[in-house]
Amino acid sequence: MASDNPSVPEYIGHHLQNLVYGKFPEGGWGFAHSAAEAKSMGFWAIHVDTIGWSLGLGFLFLFLFRSIAKRAVAREPSGLQNAVEMIVEFVDQSVKDGFHGANRLVAPMALTIFVWVLLMNTMDLVPVDLIPWLASQLGIHYMKVVPTTDPNATLGLSISVFILMIIFSLKVKGVGGFVGELTLQPFGKWLIPFNFILEGVGLIAKPISLGLRLYGNLFAGELIFIMIALMPFYLQFLLSVPWAIFHILVIVLQAYIFMMLTIVYMNMAHEAH
């Protein structure tokens, strides 16, 4: 951190600042050592901690599920195998209930989204000072460990879902059908410009609301943990444990909502008017 005894604003700002790599205005590339330097790097700066933790948790998901699948047994399965099977069956049933088209990509995508977002959200339960302190011992100035508290990550996920939605809409309905949905409803061909404005706003709002909902809920939860960490030790224990238990519900619920909305959007892309 900037000092051994930071003020409250410095402490909060430090925990909310990403590890940013980019090009300095005066030239040269490197890591930002302050929020001002990170801001000066502009739009194309890279949030190294967000990308690193996202990829790491993604590979953890792939490794874990692949290992369980290779060692799966019908008799006397392990507790971890039972947990993985419960998650797979839960996601499979959710897809059957919410998606009525024919696309073999939707179920694996829903499983990936649910588990990946759940793992990223779960990092919010790690003590707020632990990993940043370990990073500081290695000379790393900033380290945010919850990728879903970075709007770049959540909007990246939602925009990816949005792009797939557009692709499958064009594939299933054709260009004419897709354009017709945007221009001919809800008021028919006599109000095409008005229809297009209404439907266009609704279409663009889907990825924005999908990404910002996840970001807002996790960011608020992280901020509360940071505020609790500023309190005396006895208050930290009294408040952090109940909040962590409650926050588990938020973590799971937000992963479920992101998955279900993805399934709904995929279903809309495969439905004819």
With CA atoms as reference, report the closest residue to 124 among 223, 55, 259: 223
Using DSSP, state whether 194 is helix, strand or coil.
helix
Has 217 been annotated as catalytic? Answer: yes
Q: What is the DSSP string of 72-114?
A: --SSS--HHHHHHHHHHHHHHHHHHHH--S--TTHHHHHHHHH
Given 54, 217, 240, 267, the catalytic residue = 217
Question: Sign of dihedral through CA atoms 140, 141, 146, 147?
Answer: negative
* Cβ-contact 162, 207 below 8 angstroms: yes
- Active site annotation includes 209: yes
> One of 34, 40, 136, 213 is an active-site residue; which one?
213
CA quadruple 128, 130, 131, 133: dihedral, nearest 10:
110
> What residues are annotated to the active site?
209, 213, 217
